[in-house]
Structure 1
Amino acid sequence: MVDNNIISQLGGGSGIDTQKLVTDLVEISHAPQANRLDSREEKLQTQLSDYGILRSALADLESVVANLASPDIFDAKSVSVPDTSLFALSELDSSAQAGSYQVQVDQIARAQSLSSQTYASKSAEVGTGTLTLRLGDWNSALDDFTVNSEAVGATIEIDESNNSLEGLRDAINKADIGAQASIVADGNSYRLLITGPSGATNEVEITASEDAGAPGLANFNFNATNQALTQNQEGQDALVRVNGLQVSRASNSFDDVIDGLTIDLYNASVDETVNITINEDRNTAETAIRDFVDAYNVFMEQAKQLTGVNQETGKNGSLASDSLADNLVDRVKGFIGAAVPGLEGGFGSLANLGIQTKISDGTLQINEDPDRINTNFNAVMENNYGLVKSLFTPQTRSDSGSIEVTGFSKQTNPGSYDVQITQQATKGSLQAGSVVAGFPLDTTGKDYSFDIAVDGNQASVSLPDGVIYNTPEELATEIESLINVSEAVSGNRSSVSVSYDSGSGAFNFISDNYGSSSTLEITAIGGDTAELGLAVAAGTAGQNVAGTVDGEPAFGYGNVLLPKIGSSADGLSLLIKPGATSATVGFSRGFSGGLSSLINGFMVNNGLIDRREDNINESLVDIEDDRSDLERRTEAYRSRLSSQFLAMELIVNDLNSTGSFLEGLNDRLPFTSPNR
């Protein structure tokens, strides 16, 4: 440094090594403060690392706990079936009922197949207009069609953009009603092949409405008055016998003949019977519970090393005095030993299952002592399996069959809640005038058309020309089908039910949805539609359910009641059925859901652990700032010492010069000269 260089140049008149002295003094001043910062930084880095270990341990525990929250774990089943060419079992659900079943396949399902006339090319024009497709059941003579009210139809439009055999194929497939269209080469020409969904009541009816300037779509008619298409194969249901009872299904794949078991049929044989055995599989749940006990004990061991005395080093862990870590471990331990919130009756805690906490170290142990029957784990699993399931899994309850708890959220607090219904939910409705037309009703030459808005979705309906309806009930079914087949209605999850009231002699229209948005309105009618009692008119809108939950006004939407936001019951979803007046409903997350919720509260993004780690990182940044400040102060101290020692050396040097001068002066004075 410059000052030290000056001192060196002056010769160090004091004889002191001031450069070393400055360095030593600076080090004596700097070292304690630097050591304190290093020590604090090391501790914070260790805490940050240990929080990572604690987070990982919590995540491992939570994954095991979350597995126990699934009812499927407790409802697991196993199935045995001999080799057979008749069918295969593709899925076994936890809802399957244990038992033995004898299965016989009498008939497999198949789909109706229709083919068109031949066309010269795939791009040949087919005409423009609309095709209305409906699904139902043709009689053997193909002169009477019964609409399947449960199936969805469609009206497709063919215009200049898709006026070709390929365009028609794509439009039918895009309608997505289950019918499949393909083009099949027939020598040097092509046919359109339409295959409906499998099943006897999923056969296809097609009615064309041609544009006058581009005819041709009538070649695809397949209805009671015009069958331009050829039926190659009729639809039929699968026929299966289960324990001697014959049932029919539209598909060869079904899961409702034996609940929870999906069966895929391949062949039929009236001479072969296959035995299927479904057994309860409690080993899955037992294994999951034992895995939880092991995972909890591992968590406690790791937590003890971090928040207590480290067995390897004999020193306290880095989180021993950390309030959040202590609180986290205490709350997990507290939940393990406490009763599960919201449970009523049955088992309330792990102790009922024979899982106990060791006083010595806080870990869990499973009691399998055969002499302690009431709290013996194996005996409890054998004799009270249902209560074990209710202990671990989320539970909802209602003391009224008319009020059903259908959902809950993270915000919902476990407990019981009083529900009072003050207004019933209703559906939008419209009652037409009396029908003046006689039956049988012949539509030939008539304009029976009208526009109707269902829940705000506009549909145009027109009875097909040349059809005879024998009864008003038959016509009501037809009108209902034509409304619901509209893309504007079905595509917006709306539908309508149409019936005939013989007392008033009028048609009744009722929306299938509840609530204030459930509306019906006839907006236009054709020239002859008044004969059916229909006129331009608006019906009566539905109303939302209204009520209270624990005395607080709830929000009603349709027939669903939602508790007040921010209330203890917030997040519950209540389905209110007609006639409901009141109920007491309850909710419990179960042991697994409650513990998962507790753990996730610490681990969630921006949760308690995240915030603690942020605080540690901020403290580490502060240490870097403090270290920079210390270096600046140290350099300033070094400079100050150097300046002070430089001044001292200058003074000593001056004194030395003055001493030499005085000694020489004494030699020159009279009477003192040595030469005298």
Structure 2
Amino acid sequence: MTTSVSTTTSTAASTGYSTLQASDSGTGIDYATLIEAKVAQRLTRADRIDATITENEATISAYSDLQDLLLAMNDAIDGLRNRSASTGASENLFSQRTAYVSDDDVLSVTADDDAEEGTYLIEVQQIATKHKISSDATSSRTEGMGLEGSFTIGLDGGESVTVEVESDDTLEEIRDAINAQKSTSGVSASIVQVDDGSYQLILTGTETGQEISLTDGEGGVLAGLGLVDDDGAIANELVAAQDAIIVVDGVTITRDTNSIDDAIDGLTIDLYAASEGDTLSVEIGTDLSAIKSALTDFVDAYNAYRDFALQQQATGSDGTAADDATLFSDSLLRQVNQAVYDALNTSITTSDGDLLSLADLGLTFDSSNKLTLDEDTLNSILIDDIDGVRELLGLNMESSSSQLSLLRYGDDVTATSFTLDITVEDGSVTSASVNGDDSLFTVSGKRLVGKEGTAYEGLVLVWSGSSGSVDVSFSQGLADKLYSAVEAVADEYDGDIQAMVDKLETENTQLTTRSDTIKDNAESYRTRLTAYYARLEAAAETANLLLQQLTYSEDDD
């Protein structure tokens, strides 16, 4: 009997949790439920932490969406800030030029940024052409020509090549031999089928205005093909090589190409057809369509952001935050909304004395504070007052002296005013100070460069006068002010949103560690309880067996 008791105790203690679930003997206590209750009590803290992690993750996701929407808005207005690419802007749409041509079937004009605005009168008297000649007709392109020898071919002023021909070479093989060296010779060959059983070899110069040069060698291959006559001159000229001739504001210009980029600074003129006697008008001005497109894109980007903001303010039927209003009553979102609203309500007085605001661009707010665009109003102000649009939207500098000009400015330059005291000796600037401090600018010839770490960092001014004082002021237009406000919040590296996201992600990392520790400890606690209750159950079973043995003994007696 002792052996039997010992075996039962060992089994109960070793099988642990599964035995506690399955046993009907011993105390009759449901140890499994008891253990689960005690472990669950300890896991309550972990559940609360996990809930916080989930809330943080939802907030991080919402902040990331907000950041993306704000950055998209800034992408749309970046080119409207009147800042150069060298100062961090992706482009300056107010410096982009486009050409308006009275007849684009004759020519087109491409304008570089900052090309001089104005009107030019252009007459296309002649376009440049490629030299083209042909051979005599032959009855087959695939039968041997019976010509043997060599010839040289090239363009006048260029490099010539030698082409070898065998007696069994076909017209196609002669064509291929010429084309094998066309990158050097500048002459390409093709075959034209004139009619059934009649083919001609066509030679074309790859450069306009350059004549093809042919020299027949021993064997008279070129003469046999009919490309040259008995005197070695070209026999069949299809198109003569000629230069382009245009007249710009009365000045005659000749070039060997139809793409002329050195006649007027910043302009490339592409010629399509001659129109001798007809004078075309070419007007160079600001690319208004690019500015309009950017404003339209901004409206779409702003309204997408506004939809998000409205979603975060939504309430349910009980007046509490809606399920998807993750940032309901969020202070950072309120800060963003206010900053955007303040920037969009900027108004400026232009240099002409006009008061301009968003409405003058045809942009107004609806009942949800989303933007609507009146294209007629926008088109009108772009055509009539592009300078006013630039002042309304971009960063502008005013100076009390016309001898001070702005060369570049950085992102750190916003709305500021200061007086520059400039000293000039022997025609060069020797010092520039603000309020007596001459450590703010570095002087280089006539250039005044704002030093790194100062309020003037990135600012480059040019002074062409003598010693004196100049009052300088910078004003931020609507787009520049909005961009600065949004950048401070949405910058992917050091913006307020990113700082909050980083903080929440750090917090989640710490919370996850705490939750995992609690869960690990709870599992260890489960193991200890299971082993403890297993020993109790085993002891109870042993006692029960002893009681049964005593009962049996008494019955036997």
Residues 1:642 and 2:516 are matched in the alignment: no
What's the secondary structure of 2:326's corresponding residue?
A: coil
2:403 paired residue number: 402
Residues 1:555 and 2:556 are matched in the alignment: no
What's the secondary structure of 2:368's corresponding residue?
A: coil
Inter-partner Cα distance in structure 2 for 1:551 and 1:345: 33
1:585 paired residue number: 472
Give the aligned residue type for 1:15: G
Inter-partner Cα distance in structure 2 for 1:93 and 1:9: 87
Residues 1:45 and 2:57 are matched in the alignment: yes
From 408, 412, 430, give the equivalent of 1:545. 430
Inter-partner Cα distance in structure 2 for 1:308 and 1:346: 40
Inter-partner Cα distance in structure 1 for 2:279 and 2:158: 37
2:345 paired residue number: 337
Residues 1:631 and 2:516 are matched in the alignment: no
Cα offset, 1:44, TM superposition? 2.6
- Flag the 1:329–1:246 CA change in 2: closer, same or farther, 3 A: same
From 603, 607, 614, give the equivalent of 2:502. 614
Matches within 5 A, 1:458-607: 545-553=430-438, 554-607=441-494
CA-to-aligned-CA distance 1:89-127 (integer Å, 9 cap, x gap)? 44135746465725366999xxxxxxxxxxxxxxxxxxx
- As a proportion of its length, which structure holds more helix? 2
From 61, 82, 100, give the equivalent of 1:78. 100
1:416 paired residue number: 417
From 299, 302, 311, give the equivalent of 1:296. 302
From 62, 84, 90, give the equivalent of 2:74. 62
1:275 paired residue number: 280
Inter-partner Cα distance in structure 1 for 2:273 and 2:549: 131
- Flag the 1:98–1:254 CA change in 2: closer, same or farther, 3 A: same
Inter-partner Cα distance in structure 1 for 2:51 and 2:483: 36
Native 8 Å contact 1:71 1:393 kept in 2: no
Inter-partner Cα distance in structure 1 for 2:96 and 2:268: 20
Give the aligned residue type for 1:621: T
Inter-partner Cα distance in structure 1 for 2:322 and 2:255: 72
Inter-partner Cα distance in structure 2 for 1:556 and 1:96: 29
- Flag the 1:565–1:340 CA change in 2: closer, same or farther, 3 A: farther
CA-to-aligned-CA distance 1:427-467 (integer Å, 9 cap, x gap)? xxxxxxxxxxxxxxxxxxxxxxxxxxxxxxxxxxxxxxxxx
- Flag the 1:22–1:106 CA change in 2: closer, same or farther, 3 A: closer
Native 8 Å contact 1:392 1:590 kept in 2: yes
Native 8 Å contact 1:342 1:415 kept in 2: no
Inter-partner Cα distance in structure 1 for 2:28 and 2:75: 74
Native 8 Å contact 1:77 1:96 kept in 2: no
Inter-partner Cα distance in structure 1 for 2:284 and 2:461: 34
In structure 2, list runs of 5 or more residues that go unmatched.
1-13, 82-91, 129-156, 163-242
Greater mean alpha carbon deviation, residues 54-63 or residues 648-657: 648-657
Cα offset, 1:590, TM superposition? 3.2
What's the secondary structure of 1:636's corresponding residue?
A: helix
From 111, 125, 128, give the equivalent of 1:92. 111
2:47 paired residue number: 35
2:393 paired residue number: 392
Native 8 Å contact 2:306 2:369 kept in 1: yes
CA-to-aligned-CA distance 1:562-598 (integer Å, 9 cap, x gap)? 2344333332111121425222223345333333333
Greater mean alpha carbon deviation, residues 290-299 or residues 580-589: 580-589
- Flag the 1:656–1:89 CA change in 2: closer, same or farther, 3 A: closer
Native 8 Å contact 2:395 2:414 kept in 1: no
Residues 1:286 and 2:292 are matched in the alignment: yes
Give the TM-score normalised by structure 1.
0.51
Matches within 5 A, 1:93-132: 93=112, 95=115, 97=117, 99=119, 101-103=121-123
Cα offset, 1:382, TM superposition? 5.7
Inter-partner Cα distance in structure 2 for 1:594 and 1:343: 19
Inter-partner Cα distance in structure 2 for 1:661 and 1:13: 15
Give the aligned residue type for 2:79: N
CA-to-aligned-CA distance 1:383-407 (integer Å, 9 cap, x gap)? 5443122212332332312221111
Native 8 Å contact 1:81 1:274 kept in 2: no
Native 8 Å contact 1:342 1:416 kept in 2: no
What's the secondary structure of 2:29's corresponding residue?
A: coil
Give the TM-score normalised by structure 2.
0.61
- Flag the 1:633–1:345 CA change in 2: closer, same or farther, 3 A: farther
Inter-partner Cα distance in structure 1 for 2:21 and 2:64: 55
Residues 1:356 and 2:364 are matched in the alignment: yes
Native 8 Å contact 2:80 2:390 kept in 1: no
Inter-partner Cα distance in structure 2 for 1:653 and 1:105: 117
Cα offset, 1:17, TM superposition? 2.7
Give the aligned residue type for 1:13: G
Give the aligned residue type for 1:103: E
RMSD (Å) for aligned C-alpha atoms? 4.7
CA-to-aligned-CA distance 1:24-54 (integer Å, 9 cap, x gap)? 4423543x34433443333233233333322
Inter-partner Cα distance in structure 2 for 1:381 and 1:52: 35
Inter-partner Cα distance in structure 1 for 2:274 and 2:360: 51
Give the aligned residue type for 2:448: L
What's the secondary structure of 1:103's corresponding residue?
A: strand
Native 8 Å contact 2:98 2:110 kept in 1: no
What's the secondary structure of 1:298's corresponding residue?
A: helix
1:16 paired residue number: 29
Cα offset, 1:322, TM superposition? 4.3
Native 8 Å contact 1:425 1:578 kept in 2: no
Inter-partner Cα distance in structure 2 for 1:277 and 1:51: 50
Matches within 5 A, 1:170-249: 241-243=247-249, 245-246=250-251
- Flag the 1:334–1:14 CA change in 2: closer, same or farther, 3 A: same
What's the secondary structure of 2:407's corresponding residue?
A: strand
In structure 1, list runs of 5 or more residues that go unmatched.
109-180, 187-236, 371-375, 427-542, 669-673
Cα offset, 1:301, TM superposition? 0.5
Native 8 Å contact 2:96 2:112 kept in 1: no
CA-to-aligned-CA distance 1:265-309 (integer Å, 9 cap, x gap)? 79999x634323438674543343233223211221123324655
- Flag the 1:103–1:184 CA change in 2: closer, same or farther, 3 A: same
Inter-partner Cα distance in structure 2 for 1:184 and 1:548: 65
Give the aligned residue type for 2:39: V
Native 8 Å contact 2:364 2:371 kept in 1: yes
Aligned residues: 419
Native 8 Å contact 1:411 1:571 kept in 2: yes
1:465 paired residue number: none
Native 8 Å contact 2:350 2:391 kept in 1: no
Greater mean alpha carbon deviation, residues 566-575 or residues 48-57: 48-57
Cα offset, 1:318, TM superposition? 2.1
Cα offset, 1:560, TM superposition? 1.0
Native 8 Å contact 1:403 1:580 kept in 2: no
CA-to-aligned-CA distance 1:335-355 (integer Å, 9 cap, x gap)? 222347999954454245453
1:324 paired residue number: 332
